[in-house]
């Protein structure tokens, strides 16, 4: 908001200065018949609105603001130049532990359904950054310290690149995603297993006597994100990611490094532009979003979305493919069902599972009959829990409820 507010204030100030030049002339109640421009009620010539003066003032204001804009932009570019160069030099080594190939049947090839792997440019972005941080990897360091960290350490980017890397497909979800919303994406991440880094620094999870139960990650832009140490070290593929879909992290997604944790919403796990990891406790520190009323702990809720048909679509009667995605990271999706209007729940075809940390695509052919219809989806995760139809808001720990789409078949 700050740039917009400053801009609006500057604009208002300029406008009032310019307008004050206009209003010092008092016009006569009736238009003059003599046709002279200077006609007024007797104000001395040269005072008030002099058209040339006004145009000059306005034009120089426009020129000045354009110059400031150009200067600001070039300042911004030069600030990021070293960072861009450092990203350009990164060569991601082959991971020691590659992701298994995406199963052939993971994509149902239904037009309109989200692709199994979300391209970086289409990947949703949620953060508080007014300006995307452009970090120069050369000078970047990650520090690990805090309670129970018997061997605090600082890592440079190259230290991390030289370690054993893992590569995993993990679906990320934002707690602020409404039912049916767009803030979910699946990428192939490359990085360092976080549990290894933590163990190297002497960190033990609470279940093995560690004194800290919360890991607080800090980013270069001051964001703080708290994750449960227990889950980070319970064997899941929690990682410090350096690569996304085969390239260094895009700046928007956290270059040079970010956290990615299967099964936890981004605001309690996925710190971008990370530079500091502190082991502390949930009792002693509330990170950024928790201070604002969001939950301390937030596992991702089982969810599903209809990607096609789109809301208010007008398909023609006959066979219409209903398709979308369903996710229950780190539990896995076992079943997706679709209901037309108030009919019975019908089993959708589930595309092959990549891992339980990724979403699954699903589809169901529907013999569509003329008229308005409501399509509803629900997923069942591997714990057997059926996605609830109880609607909740996103605050404090994620929306629940089932996604419905209304269509008119013609």
Q: Which residues bind Mo ion (CB under 5 A)?
A: 126, 174-175, 266-267
In sequence order, what are the beta bridge partners of 236?
none
**Could you list the residues that contact ligand MTE (CB under 6 A)?**
123-128, 172, 174, 219, 221, 223, 253, 266-267, 270-273
What are the backbone dihedrals phi and psi of residue 161, each rounded to the nearest 5 degrees, phi first?
-60, -30
Q: C-beta of 288: minimal distance to ligand MTE in Å?
A: 8
Quick one: what does residue 328 bind among ligand MTE, Mo ion, none, with the CB cut-off 5 to 8 Å set by partner type? none
Strands 166-173 vs 371-381: parallel, antiparallel or unpaired: unpaired
For Mo ion, which is the closer residue by CB, 146 or 266? Answer: 266
Quick one: what does residue 203 bind among ligand MTE, Mo ion, none, with the CB cut-off 5 to 8 Å set by partner type? none
The CA-atom distances, in angstroms, between 264 and each of 50, 53, 84, 120, 299 are 65, 62, 30, 20, 4
For ligand MTE, which is the closer residue by CB, 10 or 130? Answer: 130
For ligand MTE, which is the closer residue by CB, 175 or 201? Answer: 175
Q: C-beta of 231: minimal distance to ligand MTE in Å?
A: 16
Where do the H-state alpha helices sit in 192-330? 194-200, 229-232, 288-291
SS3 227: strand
Whole-angstrom Cα Rg for the chain: 29
The number of residues making up the chain comes to: 410
Quick one: what does residue 373 bind among Mo ion, ligand MTE, none, with the CB cut-off 5 to 8 Å set by partner type? none
Quick one: what does residue 116 bind among Mo ion, ligand MTE, none, with the CB cut-off 5 to 8 Å set by partner type? none
For Mo ion, which is the closer residue by CB, 290 or 320? Answer: 290
Question: What's the CA gap between 195 and 172, in Å, rounded?
Answer: 19
For ligand MTE, which is the closer residue by CB, 253 or 335? Answer: 253
Q: C-beta of 88: minimal distance to ligand MTE in Å?
A: 20
For Mo ion, which is the closer residue by CB, 126 or 129? Answer: 126
Question: What's the CA gap between 208 and 187, in Å, rounded?
Answer: 32
Quick one: what does residue 302 bind among Mo ion, ligand MTE, none, with the CB cut-off 5 to 8 Å set by partner type? none
Quick one: what does residue 285 bind among Mo ion, ligand MTE, none, with the CB cut-off 5 to 8 Å set by partner type? none
Q: C-beta of 172: minimal distance to Mo ion in Å?
A: 9
For ligand MTE, which is the closer residue by CB, 210 or 248? Answer: 248
Q: C-beta of 360: minimal distance to Mo ion in Å?
A: 21
Give yes or no for a contact between 375 and 404, defined as CB atoms under 8 angstroms apart: yes
Strands 166-173 vs 184-193: parallel, antiparallel or unpaired: antiparallel
What are the backbone dihedrals phi and psi of residue 327, each rounded to the nearest 5 degrees, phi first?
-145, 145
Quick one: what does residue 270 bind among Mo ion, ligand MTE, none, with the CB cut-off 5 to 8 Å set by partner type? ligand MTE
Quick one: what does residue 188 bind among ligand MTE, Mo ion, none, with the CB cut-off 5 to 8 Å set by partner type? none
Q: C-beta of 266: minimal distance to ligand MTE in Å?
A: 2
Q: C-beta of 175: minimal distance to Mo ion in Å?
A: 5
Token look-up 């599972």 returns: 353
Q: C-beta of 170: minimal distance to ligand MTE in Å?
A: 11
What are the backbone dihedrals phi and psi of residue 86, each rounded to the nearest 5 degrees, phi first?
-65, -35
Give yes or no for a contact between 186 and 263, defined as CB atoms under 8 angstroms apart: no
Q: C-beta of 264: minimal distance to ligand MTE in Å?
A: 10
**In this chain, which residue has its C-beta nearest to Mo ion?**
174
Token readout for 160 is: 């991390």
Helix (H), strand (E), coil (C) string for 217-276: EEECCCCEEEEEHHHHCCCCCCEEEEEECCEECCHHHCCCCEEECCCECHHHCCCCCEEE
Quick one: what does residue 327 bind among Mo ion, ligand MTE, none, with the CB cut-off 5 to 8 Å set by partner type? none
Residues 6+ apart with CB under 8 A from 274: 142, 217, 218, 219, 240, 254, 257, 258, 259
**In this chain, which residue has its C-beta nearest to ligand MTE?**
266
* 16: exposed, middle or buried (Cβ count in 10 Å: 0-12, 13-18, 19+): exposed
Quick one: what does residue 263 bind among Mo ion, ligand MTE, none, with the CB cut-off 5 to 8 Å set by partner type? none
Q: C-beta of 277: minimal distance to ligand MTE in Å?
A: 13
For ligand MTE, which is the closer residue by CB, 182 or 371? Answer: 182
* CB burial string 122-132: b at 16+ within 10 A, e below: ebbeebebeeb
SS3 21: helix
For Mo ion, which is the closer residue by CB, 197 or 232? Answer: 232
For ligand MTE, which is the closer residue by CB, 102 or 126? Answer: 126
In sequence order, what are the beta bridge partners of 378?
337
């Amino acid at each position: 908001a700050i740039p917009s507010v400053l801009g609006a204030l500057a604009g208002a100030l300029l406008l009032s200065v310019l307008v004050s030049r206009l209003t010092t002339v008092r016009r006569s109640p009736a238009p003059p018949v003599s046709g002279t421009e200077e006609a007024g009620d007797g104000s001395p010539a040269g005072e008030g609105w002099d058209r040339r003066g006004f145009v000059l003032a306005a034009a120089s204001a426009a020129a000045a603001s354009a110059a400031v804009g150009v200067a600001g932009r070039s300042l911004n570019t030069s600030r990021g130049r070293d960072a861009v160069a450092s990203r350009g030099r990164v060569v991601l080594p082959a991971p020691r532990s590659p992701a298994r190939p995406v199963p052939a049947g993971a994509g149902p090839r239904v037009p309109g359904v989200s692709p199994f792997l979300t391209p970086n440019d289409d990947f949703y972005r949620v953060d508080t950054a007014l300006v995307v941080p452009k970090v120069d990897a050369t000078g970047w360091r990650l520090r690990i310290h805090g309670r129970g960290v018997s061997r605090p350490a600082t890592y440079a980017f190259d230290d991390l690149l030289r370690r054993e890397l893992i590569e995993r497909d993990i679906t990320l979800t934002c707690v602020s995603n409404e039912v049916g919303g767009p803030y979910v994406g699946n990428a192939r991440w490359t990085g360092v297993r976080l549990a290894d880094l933590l163990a190297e620094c002497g960190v033990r999870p609470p279940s093995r006597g560690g004194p800290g139960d919360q890991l607080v990650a800090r980013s270069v832009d001051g964001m703080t994100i708290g994750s449960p140490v227990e889950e980070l070290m319970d064997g899941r593929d929690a990682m410090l990611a350096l690569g996304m879909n085969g390239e260094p992290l895009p700046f928007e997604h956290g270059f040079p490094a970010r956290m990615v944790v299967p099964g936890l919403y981004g605001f309690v796990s996925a710190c971008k532009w990370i530079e500091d990891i502190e082991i502390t406790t949930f009792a002693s520190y509330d990170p950024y979003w928790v201070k604002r009323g969001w939950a301390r702990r937030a596992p991702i809720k089982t969810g599903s979305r209809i990607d096609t048909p789109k809301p208010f679509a007008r398909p023609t009667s006959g066979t219409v493919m209903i398709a979308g995605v369903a996710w229950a990271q780190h539990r896995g999706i076992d079943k997706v069902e679709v209901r037309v209007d108030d009919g019975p729940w019908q089993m959708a075809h589930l595309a092959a599972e990549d891992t339980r940390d990724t979403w699954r695509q699903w589809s169901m052919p529907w013999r569509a009959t003329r008229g308005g219809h409501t399509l509803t989806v629900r997923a069942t995760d591997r714990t057997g829990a059926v996605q609830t139809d109880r609607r909740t808001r996103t605050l404090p720990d994620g929306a629940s409820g089932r996604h419905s789409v209304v269509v008119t078949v013609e």
